[in-house]
Structure 1
Amino acid sequence: MNDQQLFNDRLAVLATMHQKEKVIAPLLEQELGIKVIVPQDFNTDIFGTFTREVKRPGTQIAAAKFKAEKALELTRENLAIASEGSFTPHPLVPYIYCNREIVVLLDKINNLEIIGEEISTDTNFNHQIITNLDEAYIFAKKVGFPEHGLVVWFENLENRCNEIIKGITKEIDLITSVNFALHNSPNSQVNIETDMRAMYNPTRMKNIAKATHNLLNKISSCCPKCNIPGFEITEIIQGLPCEFCQIPTTLPLTAIYQCKKCGFNQEKLFPNGMEFANPAQCMYCNP
């Protein structure tokens, strides 16, 4: 059994309200032979917002799965896709932010859960406190406005809440929003940040597409024992020997693949196609 046999001519619901179908649907429809639909009036903001009005329930993967399950519940279908993004300091370079995108596929008929992922430093994620319109213009230019949308917000002490203006993509709206916020902010300070919702952020859309490609790669990787898609790497073992001194390095030596369906696992040597590490990456040859 292959992915075409499992998914061909099936209907899949995509749990989004931010136009992610523009990049996800064409890829899945072409490669899997499915038809992707978006549920009407589906509110994904209940699972968390980038502007912090609603806290995300649990982990990033849990939030994506919540979306997919809710879409299945509403439509009574059996195949769902959902994605979730996050922006955090890079695990190896903490002073650089990275964008982690995941795309989850849930198949209730075949009891499958497959997750695609992309971690990228290609992001315009940014924020700043400004005190005048000129500073807003400088920030906007730096983050790719107007192709990338902006958010302006300030603390309303009288109502004890944040006043938030989202989806700013026109110069006149930027001027109006910043002037309104400056006029109403008690300390004449306003927060301006990138709108990280997918439909207002082309850079993020590219990373969602890459995560979808990763999902498709995992779907095309079938278990050698039961032939079910999703045979993927669950562990990387370091120790690739240095080409010069043969001492193990921190580079991958072995990848462990495992099937979520039947539990079969398999070791594959040299997952990156290299049998030796460059001496420049050896802590002894290049301390």
Structure 2
Amino acid sequence: METRPLKLCRVYEGSCIVLSTKHAKSGALSAPFWNTLKASMIECPVDTDLLGSFPSTGSRAGNAIECARRKCQMSLRRLGEKVKFVLASEGSFGPHPFLAGRASDFEVLYFIDRQHGFQLHLSCLSAKTNFSMRAVGSMEELREFAAKALFPAHGLILRPNRSVDSNLVFKGVDSAGALEPAFRECVKHSADRMAWVETDMRAIFNPTRMEVIAELGCKLAERLAVLCPKCRTPGWGRVQLLPEMDGGECAGGVEVGSAEVHGCAKCGHEERMGTGGLVEGRARIW
């Protein structure tokens, strides 16, 4: 059976998408949306740190998807009903769940389309990150950490390792001239005479993270270019990956490949796509 042909849409051509951001993420996202959808992008500078920030000035309420949605809503409340399309990004960093000893970057893009009446998010898990942190007691240790963290192209954050003054923090340190003074000040105000240093994961100070956001932006733009075969709403694409089993003579079968379930974010219509094309279709309201 042949694969159902994709219906590419041009509904976003000439539109302007509002990007809810504080850290200049249009540098990563404007090109994918223009190249694929011919849609321009404008930033709405909202204080997204109110929802939590990487330098530990506040804990994030909810998961990354919920936070990205709230960022979109912040711009919608600020700009009003005339805004039809809004986009936001959120990232989380930590140990990689599958690669021992590696760090990971989990990125989310959330898109709200008021004109067509749907919301859509995509996410990715990437091992491409410089995320790291440690306590250092000398400039030699700090320079070693900085080199591995791709400094000065990537920024750093420094604070006293043990201090009652949680407000003393140096963010966005991205020059050799600023590194040593920040270290000396942190050591002076730390009970153990050490400084805590971490990579600045804010996108504007982290080109590697910008690359991951751009890659996810390409995937989202490509998905928004495809229409649902049932209701013709943009955003048709994979919503689930299923194993395909070969029954054979063994009870339970053997996994021999995978099938994808493609779905619509508005009407809930789904189709299971196997290696030979369309397997079945059904409707499910999310």
TM superposition score category, shorter chain reference: 0.7 to 0.9
5 Å-filtered alignment, 1:32-181, equals: 32-40=37-45, 42-76=46-80, 77-154=83-160, 157-159=163-165, 161-181=166-186
Q: 1:114 Cα shift?
A: 2.0
Unaligned runs of 5+ in 2: 1-6, 278-286
How has the CA–CA distance of structure 1 residues 158 and 220 changed in structure 2, closer, same or farther, with 3 Å as cutoff?
Answer: closer
Specify which structure has the bigger relative contact order, considering alpha-carbon pairs within 8 angstroms and separated by 6 or more residues: 2
Q: State the partner residue of 2:17.
A: 12
- Quick check: 1:259 aligned with 2:264? yes
**2: CA distance between counterparts of 1:157 and 1:175?**
19
Q: State the partner residue of 1:278.
A: none
- Write 1 or 2 for the structure with the bigger share of strand: 2
How has the CA–CA distance of structure 1 residues 271 and 172 changed in structure 2, closer, same or farther, with 3 Å as cutoff?
Answer: farther
Q: 1:64 Cα shift?
A: 0.6
CA offsets 1:122-161 (integer angstroms, 9 cap, x no match): 11000011111110000001111110111101256454x2
Calculate percent identity across the aligned residue pairs.
Answer: 27
**1: CA distance between counterparts of 2:257 and 2:61?**
34
How has the CA–CA distance of structure 1 residues 240 and 184 changed in structure 2, closer, same or farther, with 3 Å as cutoff?
Answer: same
SS in 1 for 2:119: strand
- Kept in 2: contact 1:8–1:33 (CA 8 A): yes
CA offsets 1:227-285 (integer angstroms, 9 cap, x no match): 2122222222224559xx9x523x6422112212112111111399xxxxxxxxxxxxx
Give, as a single letter, the amino acid of the residue that structure 2 aligns with 1:86: S
SS in 2 for 1:177: helix
SS in 2 for 1:15: strand
Q: 1:9 Cα shift?
A: 2.1
How many pairs align? 267
Give, as a single letter, the amino acid of the residue that structure 2 aligns with 1:214: K
Give, as a single letter, the amino acid of the residue that structure 2 aligns with 1:120: S
- Kept in 1: contact 2:161–2:186 (CA 8 A): no
How has the CA–CA distance of structure 1 residues 139 and 16 changed in structure 2, closer, same or farther, with 3 Å as cutoff?
Answer: same
SS in 2 for 1:14: strand
Give, as a single letter, the amino acid of the residue that structure 1 aligns with 2:108: I
- Quick check: 1:207 aligned with 2:173? no
CA offsets 1:87-129 (integer angstroms, 9 cap, x no match): 1322323532211111111111211212232221011000011
- Kept in 2: contact 1:117–1:211 (CA 8 A): yes
**2: CA distance between counterparts of 1:141 and 1:100?**
23
**2: CA distance between counterparts of 1:190 and 1:81?**
37
Q: 1:222 Cα shift?
A: 2.1
Per the normalisation by structure 2, the TM-score is: 0.86
Give, as a single letter, the amino acid of the residue that structure 1 aligns with 2:37: L
**2: CA distance between counterparts of 1:112 and 1:100?**
23
5 Å-filtered alignment, 1:275-286, equals: none
CA offsets 1:171-200 (integer angstroms, 9 cap, x no match): 010011001111121111211110001011
Unaligned runs of 5+ in 1: 273-287
Per the normalisation by structure 1, the TM-score is: 0.86
**2: CA distance between counterparts of 1:136 and 1:113?**
44
